[in-house]
Structure 1
Amino acid sequence: MAIVNQFDKRNGITYVYESVSHWDKEKQQPRSKRSLIGKRDPVTGEIIPTDGRGKKRRNPEAGTTEVNPGPVPFTVADRKFYGATYLLDQIGDSLGLTEDLKACFPSLYKQIQSIAYYLILESDSPLFRFEKWSTLHRHPYGANIPSQRSSELFAGISEESKQRFFSCLAKRHQPDEYWAYDTTSVSSYSQTLRQVQYGKNKESDPLAQLNLALVFGQDSGLPFYYRKLSGNIPDVSTIKNLLADFKVLGFDKVKLVMDRGFYSEANINALLGERLKFIIAAGTHLAYIRRHIDGIYDSIRSFENLDEQYGLYSSTILTDWEFQKERPNKKDVIREKRRVYLHAYFNIEKYADEEAHFDRRLLSMKGEILSGKRNPDHETFYKKYFEITDTPVRGIKVTIKEDVVKQTKRYFGFFALMTNEKMDAITALTLYRNKDLVEKAFGNIKERLNLRRLLVSSEKSLDGKLFVAFVALIYLSYLKKQMQDKGMFKDYTMQSLLDKLDVIECFENPGHDLRVGEILNKQKLIYEFMGVETPS
């Protein structure tokens, strides 16, 4: 149970609510219920209780009588678009997101929400057009946020408040949920941001970049943590600090899903050392992986190992990992065996594609040698796969090293996952493939949230803008999961769904309650699928 203060800028009154959070088993999501308990006295700070219907309770000692103040009056008649922002309001309440933002950013949470709404609903528009959108829409802050004010807002989002917010989100994650972890690059034109560096850009963009690491709940479909990284930091180097962040934030019982870019001996040791559960992809070029594949090479393609759903063969190998952990204080190293499971997979179609691609490359490289137009970048390939002789009489002769080619092709079509939690190979593969939640979320960040190019010039503004975009991503992720679960993508894109609701108007008139315009049956159905009551 929590006490929530909500300031109404229209009448200057701070209302006090009792908020109780609970887990809705039917909808499989956190919910909260608020009850009005009074108003906050602006002078003494005390709560003036009400009977729950806006009436002050009788004070027998003072001999006062109850006064019904009636509905909160509007001072100016106005009409605004309300349907889409109302949906976001309700999502924020049901997820506890509004409550967490208010607790961590008491003076800024409405501005943060309003800018997040704008990023969601006006994905193609720059932030300086917020004023026009604000005059047409009802939103949490209820007023314009000029460009200068938004920069101040971003700079005012402190690291301490963000950490508290991440901790609040983590407490709402579902128990025993696997967390997908991945990184992406965001390009920038800035020459002043220290973490904007040239590195391996995942979209082959020639600009300097900033890297973002994101943690996603696979069952809930919601993000609850991100990190900003220097643009030249490789994926494999990020695990150590991620685990340190988890400790600081109080995350326990962590289960991570990662791709092979994070695989290294040091990272496996770190994960095992922290007793964390994980699923991580491992490249078949590694001697450790190849040694175990060799053990099941002749048996994996049996009928019993074929999975019809994925169309591939699989086998699980229980093995040991040579765990090592340095202890700087004692100046020694712990060495022991830890049990891990290696899941090997063979895809016959993947094998055929890789073999055909490799054979074409062999022909191309052989042609380069025979033509006398050797590429210096290909010399290593030439030496590995060809015997080359050049005599004055016979000229250039190229012979393929059949044994080397055969050894290379031996592992085509294979891929592997490593886990330290007991499960079958197909369960591990299903959990791993759910990791595409993160990849799709990165698409939302860059496209819908207008972050493909970072248009900020200071570190503080960058940090703040990324945080507001992350808040917007939580709303978008909830919308996307609901649309997928209810099969709505066959009728709507996310943008068309929001546009469908965004035409619903509300009316503000002096002396009257807020009134909502006409709502069509299709619009009511959207609210129903989203788990939200139709506005009235």
Structure 2
Amino acid sequence: YLHLFFSPVKMMKERCRLEDEIEQMQRLIERSVGQQITFGEPHSRFFDFLYDDEGRLVTALEKTEAVEKELERCGYFCIVTSDKMSAQEAYLLYYGRDASEKLFRADKTFLGAKTARVHSASSVKAKMLVEFIALIIRQRIYCLLKDEMLKLNVRKNYMTVPAAIKELDKIELVRINQGRYQLDHAITKNQEEILRAFGLTKNHVMARASSISEMIAGSENTSFTEETDDEEDGDEDLYMTEVYDAEE
């Protein structure tokens, strides 16, 4: 099944790219006039070359029909499917797979998968598993941030994945009196916009911070142990050791 699509944006980009390529070909041909040179594809597709008796290039004439035919194709693309479906279903399926392929190609850039840096097969498998899970998480963050950017209709530098993670990393708890914890500083406006992309608000962060503080405070069990050390004079010194079972 063949599904034919047309995109005005794609047409504009392809026309600009084609015109630039033809212009570069023309400049190269002009520099080659008077030389014994032979041009192949793609130059021969858009130009007819004239040579003198000694095989030197005299000039080149643009093939108007070939250029117009190539320009007419700009903006069109075709998707082939083995199952019967609508054009919209085919496009959404292709778009999802294309995004997945681009994501795995980006694995080398984002997660350092260009080199393994391990020395055993089990380590390679473990690293690939971690990278695969990390790619899923990163792609999910990217999609949520992109959707939020479309709602804002304004480009924000902190709405990229690395910048958003760096911004959210600033949210941290600090220990105050009596072993209690609280946020180091208030939630900023930028952090609120990032949290909104994940369906969260600063109230969620405050509630979670309060919950963590209560959990840590409740898990701190204080106990005392006695240690005795027999001295030469027979006196015993008592040592009191405070033990905290707290995982911070």
Q: TM-score, normalised by structure 2?
A: 0.53
**CA separation of 1:516 and 1:459: change in aligned 2, threshold 3 A:** farther
Cα distance in 1 between the residues matched to 2:146 and 2:180: 28
Offset of 1:372 from its aligned partner? Answer: 0.9
Secondary structure of the residue that 1:415 maps to in structure 2? Answer: strand
* Correspondent of 1:498 among 152, 168, 175: 168
State whether residues 2 and 78 of structure 2, in contact with CA within 8 Å, keep that contact through their aligned partners in structure 1.
no
State whether residues 5 and 76 of structure 2, in contact with CA within 8 Å, keep that contact through their aligned partners in structure 1.
yes
2:79 is the counterpart of 1:412: no
Offset of 1:387 from its aligned partner? Answer: 3.8
> Which ranges in structure 2 are unaligned for 5 or more consecutive residues?
212-248
Cα distance in 2 between the residues matched to 1:484 and 1:462: 32
Cα distance in 1 between the residues matched to 2:57 and 2:134: 66
2:162 is the counterpart of 1:464: no
**CA separation of 1:357 and 1:429: change in aligned 2, threshold 3 A:** farther
Secondary structure of the residue that 1:518 maps to in structure 2? Answer: strand
Residues 284-295 of structure 1 correspond to what in structure 2 (within 5 A)? none
* Correspondent of 2:136 among 459, 474, 477: 474
Query: Which residue is equivalent to 2:4?
Result: 343
Secondary structure of the residue that 1:454 maps to in structure 2? Answer: coil
Cα distance in 1 between the residues matched to 2:137 and 2:14: 41
Q: CA RMSD in A?
A: 4.4
Offset of 1:430 from its aligned partner? Answer: 5.6
**CA separation of 1:518 and 1:438: change in aligned 2, threshold 3 A:** farther
* Correspondent of 1:517 among 160, 181, 197: 181
**CA separation of 1:486 and 1:423: change in aligned 2, threshold 3 A:** same
Structure 1 residues 222-260: Cα deviation after superposition (integer angstroms, max 9, x where no partner): xxxxxxxxxxxxxxxxxxxxxxxxxxxxxxxxxxxxxxx
Secondary structure of the residue that 2:78 maps to in structure 1? Answer: strand
Offset of 1:517 from its aligned partner? Answer: 1.6
Structure 1 residues 285-334: Cα deviation after superposition (integer angstroms, max 9, x where no partner): xxxxxxxxxxxxxxxxxxxxxxxxxxxxxxxxxxxxxxxxxxxxxxxxxx
Residues 117-196 of structure 1 correspond to what in structure 2 (within 5 A)? none
State whether residues 14 and 75 of structure 2, in contact with CA within 8 Å, keep that contact through their aligned partners in structure 1.
yes
Residues 421-440 of structure 1 correspond to what in structure 2 (within 5 A)? 421-424=84-87, 428-429=90-91, 432-433=94-95, 435-436=98-99, 439-440=102-103
Cα distance in 2 between the residues matched to 1:393 and 1:486: 62
State whether residues 366 and 398 of structure 1, in contact with CA within 8 Å, keep that contact through their aligned partners in structure 2.
yes
Cα distance in 1 between the residues matched to 2:55 and 2:137: 74
State whether residues 174 and 181 of structure 2, in contact with CA within 8 Å, keep that contact through their aligned partners in structure 1.
yes
Cα distance in 2 between the residues matched to 1:468 and 1:351: 38
Cα distance in 2 between the residues matched to 1:379 and 1:495: 50
2:40 is the counterpart of 1:370: no
Cα distance in 1 between the residues matched to 2:118 and 2:71: 49
Cα distance in 1 between the residues matched to 2:57 and 2:18: 30
Give the structure, 1 or 2, with the largest relative contact order (CA under 8 Å, sep 6 or more).
1
The structure whose residues are more often helix, as a share, is: 2
Cα distance in 2 between the residues matched to 1:505 and 1:482: 29
Structure 1 residues 160-188: Cα deviation after superposition (integer angstroms, max 9, x where no partner): xxxxxxxxxxxxxxxxxxxxxxxxxxxxx
Cα distance in 1 between the residues matched to 2:111 and 2:26: 46
Secondary structure of the residue that 1:456 maps to in structure 2? Answer: coil
Offset of 1:363 from its aligned partner? Answer: 1.1
Query: Which residue is equivalent to 1:360?
Result: 23
Cα distance in 2 between the residues matched to 1:392 and 1:438: 52
Q: Over alpha carbons, which structure has the higher Rg?
A: 2
Secondary structure of the residue that 1:494 maps to in structure 2? Answer: helix
State the number of aligned residues. 186
Structure 1 residues 208-235: Cα deviation after superposition (integer angstroms, max 9, x where no partner): xxxxxxxxxxxxxxxxxxxxxxxxxxxx
Offset of 1:381 from its aligned partner? Answer: 3.8
Offset of 1:534 from its aligned partner? Answer: 0.9
Cα distance in 1 between the residues matched to 2:58 and 2:121: 59
Cα distance in 2 between the residues matched to 1:496 and 1:431: 33
State whether residues 49 and 60 of structure 2, in contact with CA within 8 Å, keep that contact through their aligned partners in structure 1.
yes
Cα distance in 1 between the residues matched to 2:138 and 2:56: 68
- Counterpart residue type for residue 80 of structure 2: M
Offset of 1:370 from its aligned partner? Answer: 1.8
Identity of aligned residues (%): 16
Residues 20-419 of structure 1 correspond to what in structure 2 (within 5 A)? 340-347=1-8, 348-350=11-13, 352-372=15-35, 374=37, 378-384=39-45, 385-391=47-53, 396-419=58-81
- Counterpart residue type for residue 111 of structure 2: L
- Counterpart residue type for residue 518 of structure 1: Q
State whether residues 33 and 57 of structure 2, in contact with CA within 8 Å, keep that contact through their aligned partners in structure 1.
no
Query: Which residue is equivalent to 1:534?
Result: 208
The structure whose residues are more often strand, as a share, is: 1
Cα distance in 2 between the residues matched to 1:529 and 1:350: 38
State whether residues 480 and 494 of structure 1, in contact with CA within 8 Å, keep that contact through their aligned partners in structure 2.
no
**CA separation of 1:405 and 1:454: change in aligned 2, threshold 3 A:** same
**CA separation of 1:412 and 1:499: change in aligned 2, threshold 3 A:** same
Cα distance in 1 between the residues matched to 2:59 and 2:141: 63
Structure 1 residues 40-89: Cα deviation after superposition (integer angstroms, max 9, x where no partner): xxxxxxxxxxxxxxxxxxxxxxxxxxxxxxxxxxxxxxxxxxxxxxxxxx
Offset of 1:343 from its aligned partner? Answer: 2.0
State whether residues 386 and 400 of structure 1, in contact with CA within 8 Å, keep that contact through their aligned partners in structure 2.
yes
**CA separation of 1:356 and 1:438: change in aligned 2, threshold 3 A:** same
Structure 1 residues 391-447: Cα deviation after superposition (integer angstroms, max 9, x where no partner): 25997354444444444444233222334443245x65466445446535654x344
Secondary structure of the residue that 1:463 maps to in structure 2? Answer: helix
Secondary structure of the residue that 1:344 maps to in structure 2? Answer: strand
Cα distance in 2 between the residues matched to 1:372 and 1:461: 58
